[in-house]
């Protein structure tokens, strides 16, 4: 992680859960972290707790389903830090919305956050890297096991699963576009229990190593 000390990471959905822990871990490893969420009060509390650590945490309000807010956030990051070197797309949500009886607005909300929001943040992060000649940047997409197979007997999660299948496909498409552009910017698809550790592991890989997909589970689950 030494090469990332002092560099800038964006973590979406950083106000709770996985995003909160990823932001904390990256700060402890010396990165300048921008944590975004629709409500930043919890991120500010975490930032206050992390004062004195090797890195720093800056809260930014942003609803990733709204493109204008995402573009404004990236403008603010550019003004304050120069740009993004690492983008951790963690923001996501699910609704109990079966395919036969689900609410259209809930389907739309999941698609806009889990798919379009991720795509816009990824596009803008790569754009930021290219503008500054950053050729070792990293895009980390937090996915789910249901982005690879459907759980049985869970009709309320079928649309959510479809959005995660989309993420799996988008990761592969992104990797091909980056290779076509002859860039060394890496992209990693994560589905893991210990996400924060998995993010650090992916970022710590040597520059010549491309971690396509990383699944980490406790030993009792793997047996």
- Catalytic positions are 160
* In contact, 127 and 71? CB cutoff 8 Å: no
As a whole number of angstroms, the distance between CA 46 and CA 167 comes to 29
CB neighbourhood size of 57 (10 A) = 25
* In contact, 155 and 99? CB cutoff 8 Å: yes
- The answer for residues whose C-beta is within 8 angstroms of residue 13's C-beta and 6 or more apart is 19, 36, 37, 64, 90, 91, 92
The pair phi, psi for residue 83, each rounded to 5°, is 160, -170
């Amino acid at each position: 992680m030494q090469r990332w000390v002092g560099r800038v990471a964006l973590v979406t959905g950083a106000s709770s859960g996985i995003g909160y822990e990823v932001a904390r871990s990256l700060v402890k490893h010396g990165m300048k972290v921008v944590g975004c969420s629709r409500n930043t009060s919890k991120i500010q509390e975490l930032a206050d707790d992390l004062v004195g650590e090797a890195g720093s945490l800056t809260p930014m309000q942003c609803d990733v389903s709204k493109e204008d807010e995402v573009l404004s956030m990236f403008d603010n990051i550019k003004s304050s830090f120069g740009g993004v070197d690492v983008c951790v797309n963690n923001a996501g949500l699910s609704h109990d919305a079966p395919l036969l009886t689900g609410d259209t607005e809930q389907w739309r909300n999941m698609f806009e956050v889990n798919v379009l929001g991720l795509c816009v943040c990824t596009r803008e992060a790569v754009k930021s890297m290219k503008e500054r000649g950053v050729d070792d940047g990293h895009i980390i997409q937090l996915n789910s096991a249901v982005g690879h197979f459907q759980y049985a007997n869970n009709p309320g999660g079928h649309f959510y699963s479809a959005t995660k299948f989309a993420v799996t496909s988008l990761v592969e498409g992104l990797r091909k576009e980056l290779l076509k552009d002859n860039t060394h910017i890496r992209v990693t698809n994560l589905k893991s229990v210990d996400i924060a550790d998995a993010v650090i592991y992916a970022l710590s890989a040597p520059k010549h190593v491309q971690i396509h997909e990383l699944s980490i589970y406790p030993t009792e689950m793997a047996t």
